Amino acid sequence: MTDRPCITIEHLAKFVGQRVTLRGWVRHLRKSGKLAFLVIRDGTGDVQAIVSKAQVGEAQFTQACQMTQESSLILTGTVRADARAPGGYELEAETLHVVHIADPFPIQPKEHGVGFLMDHRHLWLRSRRQQAILRIRHEVIRTCRTFFDERGFTLIDAPIFTPNACEGTTTLFETQYFDQQAYLTQSGQLYGEAAAMAFGKVYCFGPTFRAEKSKTRRHLMEFWMVEPELAFAELADVMDLAEELVTIIVHRVLTHRRAELQTLERDIAALEAVVPPFPRLTYEEAVQLLQAKQVSIAYGDDFGGDEETVLSRAFAKPIIVHRYPAALKAFYMQTDPVQPDLALCMDMLAPEGYGEIIGGGQRIHEYEKLQERLREHGLSEEAFRWYLDLRKYGTVPHAGFGMGIERVVAWICGLDHVRETIPFPRMLYRLYP
């Protein structure tokens, strides 16, 4: 379609005064006499092209004037620096090739309801705001991977089909696996533990599934989790690791995705406050803090969304709450030798009311204790035989955590719901598109 090498809008600055070819879509067209102003996006940015009838000729000018929102085109022109232009550059069009004239685009530059936008999620992704969010998501994911890669963790991904309930039996998605009953994984942790005994330090990163029957701003049915697991490690080690990870993620986004944060009108100062050390509270201290804030909660109650919101508004940084009553937690949690009714577990809560972004802790490494705990939780020993095996062959204290990507992105972007943090959200009443 063109013999000229194409460039992308993000690189325009390097081509001032030169002739370049761009490929993209029309966000907006404004006509004014013998001039047409086309705002073009190409996925890396936006630029305004000035199309003048004198320059491109009658036929191409007429075509330019027919371009609807989201029509696609290939355009050659000269790059001009212009301080008044959004982004600082403009293009003086010389030739214009229309690839497709789009039908009337359903999403207009006006207010649409969330239901309508979600029904058009496949098109909504083209908006500046959605692109900013998903670019930040990419930065968060990239940082997770480099963080663990640079620290000697081996990536060992866990299966999606599993016979094991990792996080309780109430949120399992059941599925038929030929003649067997299987579940979609709730967490890769159990497999991470096996891998940690093989490799020492590992992480898995993939989609996880929870049949959450409630509609909240924090829950998806399908979400992505990064889960490190370390042999010869204890609760304190993973609290430190989680703190370092979150600090670096926020720092990377501030450094590399500042323009996107600005598009989202995010309060930058709130993110700049995320520096270690993060406050650490025991569950008991957290309950006392809630009670002091007039929240009606008793020792032994779990924290729901409301309690998390209050706790996480009480501090300017993420906080780590550790040592919950073991009765509130999953079967695999190691207990505190000092106070055996407590679990050696931790949750990290993001500030500004966002709540839990990380859950983890130290695992039971003793065979009999784990066997007993499986029984108490009504879990089949048969399905967990392989997991019990790990406690028979060179068992060691070990610990890890899981961080939900969407919760982190919602917080960093300052969104009021997780639904925009994943390209195609799966929610209680949403499987389309």
Nearer to ligand 4AD, 61 or 401 (CB): 401
In the list 27, 219, 266, 365, the residue contacting ligand 4AD (rule: CB under 6 A) is: 219
Residue 360: which of ligand 4AD, Mg ion, none does it interact with, CB under 5 to 8 A by kind? Answer: ligand 4AD
Phi then psi for residue 55, to 5 deg, are -80, -50
Q: Please say which residue, 45 or 402, places its beta carbon nearer to Mg ion.
A: 402
| Segment near Mg ion (CB under 5 A); pick from 44-52, 239-247, 336-344, 357-365 | 357-365
Binding partner of 166, given ligand 4AD, Mg ion, none, CB within 5-8 angstroms per partner class: ligand 4AD
Contact 348, 357 (CB under 8 A): yes
Token pair recorded at residue 377: 């939780």
The span from the CA of 252 to the CA of 145, in Å, is 13
Contact between 192 and Mg ion per CB under 5 A: no
Find the shortest distance in angstroms from Cβ 406 to ligand 4AD: 5
SS3 assignment, position 79: strand
Residue 193 contacts residue 398 (beta carbons within 8 Å):
yes
190 Cβ partners below 8 Å, 6+ apart? 158, 164, 166, 332, 387
Nearest CB to ligand 4AD, comparing residues 9 and 239: 239
Residue for token pair 């309801």: 113
Our finding on whether 195 is near ligand 4AD (CB under 6 A) is no
359 binds Mg ion, rule: CB under 5 A: yes
Instruction: Name the nearest CA neighbour of 131 among 48, 70, 43.
Output: 43
Among 10, 11, 38, 35, which Cα is nearest to 97's? Answer: 38
Q: Decide: is 402 part of the binding site for Mg ion (CB under 5 A).
A: no
Nearer to ligand 4AD, 210 or 322 (CB): 210
Judged by CB under 6 A, the stretch of 35-43, 111-119, 216-224, 313-321 that binds ligand 4AD is 216-224
CB of 72 to ligand 4AD, least distance (A): 35
Q: What residues contact 427, with CB distance under 8 A and at least 6 apart?
A: 215, 219, 220, 221, 419
CB of 217 to ligand 4AD, least distance (A): 10
Residue type for 231, please?
Answer: A
187 near ligand 4AD, rule: CB under 6 A = yes
Q: Of these, 26, 40, 242, 358, which contacts ligand 4AD (CB under 6 A)? A: 358
Cβ proximity to ligand 4AD, 90 vs 167, nearer residue: 167
Residue 346, strand partner residues = 322, 360
The interface with ligand 4AD within residues 115-174 (CB under 6 A) comprises 166-167
* Binding span for ligand 4AD by CB under 6 A among 120-128, 212-220, 370-378, 423-431: 212-220
| Per-position DSSP letters for 338-363, written without gaps between them | SSTTBBSEEEEEETTTTEEEEEEEEB
Residue from 42, 46, 157, 212 binding ligand 4AD (CB under 6 A): 212
Rounded CA-CA distance 20/12 in Å is 9
219 binds, among ligand 4AD, Mg ion, none (CB under 5 to 8 A by kind): ligand 4AD
State how far the alpha carbon of 45 is from the alpha carbons of 8, 76, 89, 165, 263, in Å.
Answer: 8, 17, 11, 44, 12
232 within 8 A of 396, measured Cβ to Cβ: yes
Minimum distance from residue 345 beta carbon to Mg ion (Å): 9
By the criterion CB under 6 A, which residues form the site for ligand 4AD? 166-167, 187, 189, 210, 212, 219-220, 223, 225, 227, 356-360, 400-402, 404, 406-407, 418
User: Interface with Mg ion by CB under 5 A: which residues?
Assistant: 359
